[in-house]
Each structure stands twice: as C-alpha cells, then as structure tokens.
Structure 1
Amino acid sequence: MIASSKRSPLTYLVHATVLFLVVIWTIPTAGLFVSSIRDKDQLSVSGWWTALSTSEQRIVDRANGPKTQTQEGDQFVIRGNLLTNSSAVITQFGFSSLDPEAFAAGTLAEMRNGQTLQVMANGDYALASPAQWKGSRGQRIFYTAEVPPRFTLDNYREVLSAEGLGQSFLNSLTVTIPATIIPILVAAFAAYALAWMRFPGRALLVAAVVGLLVVPLQMSLIPLLKSYNLIGEFFGVGSKTYVGIWLAHTGFGLPLAIYLLRNYIAGLPSEIIESARVDGASDFDIFRKIILPLSFPALASFAIFQFLWVWNDLLIAMVFLGNNEEHLVLTGQLRELLGSRGGNWEILTASAFITIIVPLCVFFSLQRYLVRGLLAGSVK
C-alpha cells in the first residue's frame, strides 16, 4: 500500500506561523527604510504606509516684505510664490490663523483697509493695497497643499556628512569584530576539552557554564568594571580603552559560546576522533584539522548572535568607553541625535537604517548555518 504524500494540517499551520512571524518582523524594517528616503515635510505629517499617495499638508509661510512691492496703477502689489515643490498644488488658503482654509485657490480674498490677497493653485500669490505696504515683515499666509510623493537621499547625505556617524561607525567595527572573534577562539578550545578530553571536574565545569548562562548582565557589570579598573591602575593602563570592552564582551559571551559549541562538538562521530588518535594525531591536531572544519555551522551561529549583540550594545560601550567623540559607538551617536534633534525624524530613520545594514549583511551571509548550529546536539 502506497503511503499518502499529503501533508498534515500541522505542517501547514507551522508554515503559516513562520510566514506570519517573518512578515511581522519585516514590516518595521521596510517602514524604517521607506521613512528614511521620504521628504522630511511629508514624513512629519503622514505615515510611511502613505508614501505612494498624495499627502495633504497645512503650511504657514510669509509673503515677501514691503521692500519688494511695486506700483501697478493705483495699487501697491507684492508678488511671489509659496511652493518650493513645483509639482505641489494649493487647494485652499487664508490670512488668519482662526480660519486658515477660508478661501479656495484662485479666489480674491478681501482683507482689511481695502487690501486683497490672491493665491493661485501653482503657488503664485499677489498682495494688493491702495496704500504703500509698511513694516519689515511680510504678511502671513496659511495654505493647504496637496503634495505628490517625493523620495530623496538627502537624509543619508546629511547624516553621513554632518552628524559624525562616520567615526562612530568605525568605532563600532573596532569594538564588534574583536569582541566576536576572541570569544569564538577561546570557546572553541574550551568546548573541545569539555566534550572529548577526560579530566577531573569536567562535569562541574559544564554545570558552571550552564549556570553562567542565567547571570544577568546588570548584576555582573559593576564588579567587572571595578576589577578592570584595579588591574588597569596596577599596570598603568587607562580605563577608557578598547581592550576593556573586548574583555567585557568576551566574558559575557563565553558561557553561551562554550555551551553551544560543546553540544555541537560532542555530537560529532566518535569514530573520526578515535581513528585520528590511532594514527598518532595529538589533541591539537584533531582540534585544528577535524573539529574546527566540522564545527563551522556552530561557529557561524554563535558569530551571528555575538555580532548582533555587540553591535547593538549601548550599556557596556557607555561604561567602558565613555561618551567622548573619539570612542563613541554608533548606538551612542544615535542616542545623541535623539536627545538633541528628537523632532527630526528623517535624520533618525536614516541613521537607524545605516546601523542595521552591517548586521543584516552578517546575518544573511551566515544564516544558512544558523539552524544547523542551534539544533546540533539537541537530539541523538
């Protein structure tokens, strides 16, 4: 009897759930990118999901000053244009904040003392008065404009050129790359020893590694910083150095790295290692020529987690590197932007998307090893 090839309803449910989670996690990233390339005026008045539709903006502007008036017959006229975007269209206007949409575009509006105001759909306006205009400031004009969607790279140009993210980007790379490589090197040796070498107390060390997985970062950060400062004073080394943050990230990342790699290495076929020992290979030769090549999925899995954690870290960077521009990492620079320019959303969205470019590249380049590395050693 031929077995049925139909998939069970549970399989479809799992696939639908995974697809739903992927969409939920992708939508914020897509929204962040769309917001980062939108015109700042449109971004401030409408959400990113309306980026492809015409937006309605209510704007207040000032006409040209009395110095620009010209006499046309018995009238003194001030002319100009309100629109910087030639494709926008004005639908309504007004000269009072109490009724900013009092007149349709093209209507001749009667003001005080015989003065008139006319605003056309293309933004051209004319202020006319039987007497000369006086004062130094122009008349306020309120208008509603329909603006078609506009996309620009000006936000990225402003961030990369004026906001100092270039140096902080290099600082983040300086912190992240060594803080990812060092724990991998240390954990790989430790994982091989705990998996295949026999020595007293091995089970206690494995239990200690598992116990360290649940130690909160905040609880151990202050003792670690005090110890590092004491060591730095003893050797005459300043506290605000990259070495300190490398060691801190290494210490916090080692328990997970050792646990993950040990489970993977312990699941490798014992026949390969025993055959190598029979052929006279030392533990170091086995580790270098057999274990490391076979453990690449687990190494890549941990590298993804460690890189993302270190790249997005702010707390440890602030504690060990401080807040000076010379060592300020990318997350710290974003915090400064949020504190000083919280209303400029176009700058924040562009800055935030720049920070996730590198983690996305790392994840997509190594993601095919992620599941294999995480599931290794979970089943026999």
Structure 2
Amino acid sequence: MSIAVADRPGTAATAARFSPRWISDRLSKVVLHVAVIGLTAAWIVPTAGILVTSFRPFSKISTSGWWTALAPSFSFTVDNYSKVLGSSNLGQSFFNSFMISIPGTIIPIAIAAFAAYAFSWMKFWGRDWIFLGIVGVLAIPLQLSFVPVLSFFVAHGITSANLSWAPFLPVWLAHTGYGLPFSIYLLANFFRALPSDLFESAEIDGAGTLTVFFRIVLPLSVPALASLVIFQFLWIWNDLLVALIYVGGAPEVAPLTVTLANLTNSLGQGYHLLTAAAFFSMIIPLIVFLSLQRYFVRGILAGSVKG
C-alpha cells in the first residue's frame, strides 16, 4: 500500500516550518538583530575613537585620524593622562563633583518619594490639578529660571562666598528644584501600579501612613528608585551649566566638568587633553550605571501598564 504524501511523517511539520508566516518571523528577527548591531556600532565607534585618541601623541592627533593608529607601526603614549592629572586640579574637582552629585541626588529623590506617595494613595483637595501642574513644569526649559533663581540667592545671601560652611548649598537647592518634577512623575506612576490590596491589608492590620510607606512602598519600589538614581546622578555629574552658574569656577568649589572645560584656552590650545580627561570623568558614571543597570529596565517600564 502506498502512503499519501500528506501522510508522510514530518511533511506537515516541514510545511509549517517553511510557511510564509515562519519566513516572515525569521526575516523580522534578522532585521531586528541587524538594526540593534548597527545602532550599537554607531554608539561604540565614536567612543572607541576617543579612547584611541587619548593614547596618541599630539603630533599624531593633529595630522591624522584616530583609525590610522590601529595599523602598524603603533604609536601610543600615556602623556595625555599624565598632563591631565598633573597640570589640573582634578583631585579637588573630583571631590567637588561628589559633594555636588550625592546630596543633589539624595535630596530630590527623598522629597519626591514622599510627594509621589501622597499623589498616588492619599486624597486631598486639588491633588490631580497639582500633579498636572508638576508634570507641566517638565516642559519649561530650566535655563529660563537661571536669572530669577540666582537673583533670589544673591538677595538672600545664599551664595558660595557667603556660605563658607556649606558652599555647595546653592547648587543643591537648584538641582533639587530641577529634579523634583521628573522624580515625582516617575515615582507616582510606579506607586500607582502597586496592588491596592496591600494597602487595604495594612490598614486592617493597623499600619499607619508612615509604616506603610517605609515598610511596604519603599521596599517594593527599589527598581524605580534605582532608575531615578541613575538618571539624577548622571545628569548632575555631567552637568556644567548649572554648577558654573550657582557655584562658579573657583578651584575650591569647581566640579570636574568645569575643570575639564578650562583645560582648553580661548585659542583652543590643549584640546588634545580633553580625550584623556573625558575618560577620566567617565569612571564614576560607568560604575553607577553598571551597578544599578539590572534595575534600570524594570524601573523604566514600571507603571507603564496597570496590572
């Protein structure tokens, strides 16, 4: 007895495997992988160029492209790093950046956590309108506030020169005000996605507002808080304009970004040192991001869906 073609073992599976839908899915995956690899290369190549340039002598930098250093004969040096570490006040600037970034990250996140909890689970008059106003502030460029805020600080003596005991207080307050709208918005979206059954059970057990906040909300919000720490810390660490306006460029208070910007003079001399200085300043942001990156995606996606 002959066996029909359709009844042969594996024929149906083979037909399904090479169906138009299967081919379309495979092509979609290939296109996605090619796009991801292309975008990754687009980000990595400039960074690799800066890294290679930071180890090249000035004579080579000014006469040829960085890719020529990858071919024999190789000509690399650490003179750029030696000059950056020896000729500029990087040690004090590194410390100043920490003194600006750490309080500038902790203060707005701590305030935003309380505010976001209130907007999410507490009822009071005008709650939605106030939250809408906070979200609307995100659309206002912070540059518009520099003159009035700085005038207010000067009029009330809140300047680095007048506050020898806390010379970074003006920039702490500035970063707190600039970081609060986004922090409240991100945390409120996360808090609202928490199951309401948790709060009802805690209320039945007699837990107060602060107990619920510290014992339930904060432990469950670690991904969102970690993502917010990454955003806020990296923004402050890489900031130049806000720090320059509110604390100035004096060596004793200037952060790392201001010191690095001063490596080049008005005629552009010393620009070859910026590549080495850039990688020196990238050490801390890389450590912060890599140590918290496992929470990053979860924190960003949290609150995007209700479930």
TM-score in terms of structure 1 length: 0.70
Kept after mapping to 2: 8 A contact 1:301/1:369: yes
| CA RMSD between the two structures | 2.4
Kept after mapping to 2: 8 A contact 1:241/1:320: no
Distance 1:280 1:11 in 2: 52
Is residue 184 of structure 1 aligned with residue 184 of structure 2? no
**Within 5 A, what are the aligned runs for 1:1-380?**
7=25, 9-54=27-72, 148-232=73-157, 237-238=162-163, 241-339=167-265, 342-380=268-306
Kept after mapping to 2: 8 A contact 1:33/1:353: yes
Give the match's secondary structure for 2:250: coil
Q: What is the deviation of 1:232?
A: 2.3
Kept after mapping to 2: 8 A contact 1:44/1:345: no
Distance 2:279 2:158 in 1: 40
Distance 1:287 1:206 in 2: 19
Distance 1:184 1:345 in 2: 37
Per-residue CA deviation, residues 201-238 of structure 1 (Å, 9 max, x unaligned), is 1111110111111111111121111222233279x944
Q: Give 4+ residue runs of structure 1 displaced > 6 Å after superposition.
A: 1-5
Instruction: Tell me which amino acid in the other structure corresponds to 1:295.
Output: S
Q: What is the deviation of 1:9?
A: 4.0
Distance 2:106 2:205 in 1: 31
Query: Given the superposition, is the C-alpha separation of residues 17 and 198 from structure 1 closer, same or farther in structure 2, using an over 3 Å criterion?
Result: same
Instruction: Tell me which amino acid in the other structure corresponds to 1:158.
Output: K
Distance 1:208 1:335 in 2: 36
TM-score in terms of structure 2 length: 0.86
Instruction: Tell me which amino acid in the other structure corresponds to 2:109.
Output: I
Distance 2:162 2:251 in 1: 20
Kept after mapping to 2: 8 A contact 1:43/1:345: no
Q: What is the deviation of 1:294?
A: 0.9
Q: What is the deviation of 1:241?
A: 2.4
Give the match's secondary structure for 1:260: helix
Kept after mapping to 1: 8 A contact 2:263/2:271: no
Identity of aligned residues (%): 50
Query: Given the superposition, is the C-alpha separation of residues 8 and 267 from structure 1 closer, same or farther in structure 2, using an over 3 Å criterion?
Result: farther
Q: What is the deviation of 1:37?
A: 1.5
Structure 1: tracts of 5 or more residues without a match: 55-147
Distance 2:199 2:31 in 1: 41
220-229 vs 8-17, greater mean Cα deviation: 8-17
Q: What is the deviation of 1:159?
A: 1.0
Distance 1:8 1:374 in 2: 29
